[in-house]
Amino acid sequence: MHGDETVGREILLHLIDFLVTSYGRDPVITRLLNNTRIHIMPTMNPDGFEATKVPDCYYTPGRYNGNGEDLNRNFPDAFEDNRANIQPETQAVMDWIKNETFVLSANLHGGALVASYTFDNGNPVTGSLKGYSRSPDDDVFIHLAKTYSSNHASMYKGTGCDSRQTFPEGITNGYSWYQLEGGMQDYNYVWGQCFEITLELSCCKYPPEDQLGKFWRDNKVALIEYIKQVHLGVKGQVTDKNGNPIPNAIVEAKGRPHVCPYRTNQHGEYFLLLLPGTYVINATVPGYKSMLKTVEIPDNTGNFSAVKQDFSFPEVSDKISSKVTSCPKTPLYQELSRASAAVKPTVHLLVLMTVVLAIFK
């Protein structure tokens, strides 16, 4: 995302080469590719990379795109109106996210050594007053971040890049580290239905060429183990009485509502990343009674397939409209915060009225 943070760009080229040359030779990679749709974008900011004429470990103008914009502050923000002038690169990625059913992703950076997870921004609803911005799937995000850090050659040590920067187990909640608006990982999670973490892979943003081989070796296992995590949880299809797929049905795990509800894609498919355990999955087709199914989820990452749980709505015909109002690109958690605040005085008023009635009685 940042043109002068070059390690991730090189590592992804190595990853592409490793996957295609290992297919048919390495049984694990072969099974992974046979069961996983993998998209790799080596760079989101080629202009910034080309603009970095004098490499530097800490900072160059190459961080920004050709218009001088930081692409990791350029996405719509779920918490506040960051008034971003959406750049062509950002719009292209937003369109890509909209048109594909991504489930798990990571964006790569340099300048630190840590796996950071959503939320990067926050408000009192998500716990910002306590210095941590918690998502409904916080346990899954912690697991994802630890999966990467624990399989990295040194990230898990949590020593960071200097004495001021320590990360226990090599992970951090984004907001706990520092607050940012318009980040890609929050956008992906809220609007893309995709669990994304941010990987900071090198203390030096633009290291000497002779160090690139070591960076690949340090990250190779972590990248593969991270990709496997896309097979956590549960997946399935929602269909009508004739077996036709129902797009835009809401499917979520009970107790984990997303501020922008997670919906089935055009093929009626849904994917929910969940840690091993027992969950109630709620499928809802607007205008019809919801269906609840209890699902026992094991750790299926080694089998390269999430648990499958389909839903069939016998009352729904294939004539149901698949149109749905898209989740607005407004600060959704801002609305939630206002609604939460509006409830509190009502509760106090009810308590007061109860006390008054008790006195008069």
The catalytic site residues sit at 200
Interacting residues of 120 by C-beta distance below 8 A, sequence separation 6+:
133, 174, 175, 179, 180, 181, 183, 185, 186, 198
Interacting residues of 22 by C-beta distance below 8 A, sequence separation 6+:
29, 30
Contact in structure between 185 and 107 (CB atoms under 8 Å)? yes
Within 10 A of 148 (CB to CB), how many other CB atoms are there?
26
Strand partners, 113: 201
Q: 124 in helix, strand or coil?
A: helix
Strands lying side by side in the sheet with 112-117: 104-109, 195-202, 112-117, 171-173
Cα 172 to Cα 116: distance, rounded to the nearest angstrom: 5
Single-letter residue type at 215: F
